[in-house]
Amino acid sequence: MTETVDHSQEGEATRRDFIHIAAGAAAVGAGVMAAWPLINQMNPAADTLALSTIEFDTSKVMEGMQVVIKWQGKPVFVRNRTAAELQRVKADDRASDLKEPQTDAERTKPGHENMLVVIGSCTHLGCVPTFNAGDFGGWFCPCHGSHYDASGRIRKGPAPLNLVVPDYEFTAGSTVRIG
């Protein structure tokens, strides 16, 4: 009877160990290469990234008027509110009928309280509300009857939330950068 002699010492790497490690590394690399297109397709498209910020000169908006600009495919209302509107919304800051209590100061930037910037989609079903309409002098969504005040806060109707205030800042004087 012949005995097989193991010439390798215990703990020493063998050729077989190297082949196992190399095959495992190749399998992991192939898996990453196969998964990369699936992961990469979830990134925003180049045209979307190009629209991630927009700048607008608010000096073009006359007092008491609003301009609708398009940002990321959504309407954005830029409204220059009158002194009477400001007085009315500040008086309503503590009103008991606010579904989502927010003060006007929380919805505007210091030094630019007259300028309101909100996304112009009703928070009920995404309709575009009508300017300077409704019971509170703000917007009215004719589709389902939601009433917003001049600060974009929901006051009456089925909409559950205030009009959304996007991330924005005033950069140079009257120029606002949204996004």
Is pLDDT of 29 > 90? yes
CA distances from 174 to 62, 114, 122 (A): 12, 12, 27
- The enclosing domain of 104 has a CATH number of 2.102.10.10
Domain interval for residue 27: 13-43
Least confident range from 55-64, 79-88, 95-104, 159-168: namely 95-104
Domain assignment present for 163? yes
Q: Tell me, yes or no, whether 35 and 92 share the same domain.
A: no
Q: How many domains does the chain have?
A: 2
Q: Tell me, yes or no, whether 60 and 137 share the same domain.
A: yes
Q: Tell me, yes or no, whether 17 and 64 share the same domain.
A: no
Which pLDDT score, from 0 to 100, does residue 33 have? 92
Beta strands across the sheet bearing 54-57: 54-57, 175-178, 168-170
Least confident range from 40-44, 92-96, 149-153: namely 92-96
Among the listed residues 131, 121, 117, 133, the one whose alpha carbon sits nearest the alpha carbon of residue 159: 121
Domain assignment present for 5? no
Which pLDDT score, from 0 to 100, does residue 43 have? 84
Q: Tell me, yes or no, whether 170 and 94 share the same domain.
A: yes
Is pLDDT of 48 > 80? no
Domain assignment present for 172? yes
Give CA–CA dist 72/105, Å, rounded.
Answer: 25
Is pLDDT of 7 > 60? no
Domain assignment present for 84? yes
CA 95, 100, 103, 109 dihedral sign is negative
Average pLDDT over every residue of 65-92: 89
Q: Tell me, yes or no, whether 125 and 148 share the same domain.
A: yes
Q: Tell me, yes or no, whether 95 and 167 share the same domain.
A: yes
Q: Tell me, yes or no, whether 160 and 134 share the same domain.
A: yes
Tell if the pTM clears 0.85, that is, is over it.
no
Q: Which comes out higher in pLDDT, residue 5 or 17?
A: 17
Among the listed residues 172, 162, 170, the one whose alpha carbon sits nearest the alpha carbon of residue 115: 170
Q: Hey, is 63 helix, strand or coil?
A: coil
Domain assignment present for 1? no
Domain assignment present for 112? yes
Q: Which comes out higher in pLDDT, residue 173 or 48?
A: 173
Q: Tell me, yes or no, whether 110 and 23 share the same domain.
A: no
- Which are the catalytic amino acids? 144
Amino acid at residue number 164: V
Give CA–CA dist 146/9, Å, rounded.
Answer: 81
Average pLDDT over every residue of 143-167: 88
* Whole-number percent of the chain with pLDDT over 90: 17
Domain assignment present for 4? no
Q: Tell me, yes or no, whether 79 and 157 share the same domain.
A: yes
| 102-134 residue pLDDT tens | 888 888 888 888 999 999 888 888 788 888 887
Q: Tell me, yes or no, whether 31 and 53 share the same domain.
A: no
Angle at 51 between CA 48 and CA 54, to 5 degrees: 165
Q: Tell me, yes or no, whether 39 and 97 share the same domain.
A: no
Domain assignment present for 117? yes
CA distances from 30 to 23, 36, 40, 122 (A): 10, 10, 16, 47
Q: Tell me, yes or no, whether 89 and 126 share the same domain.
A: yes
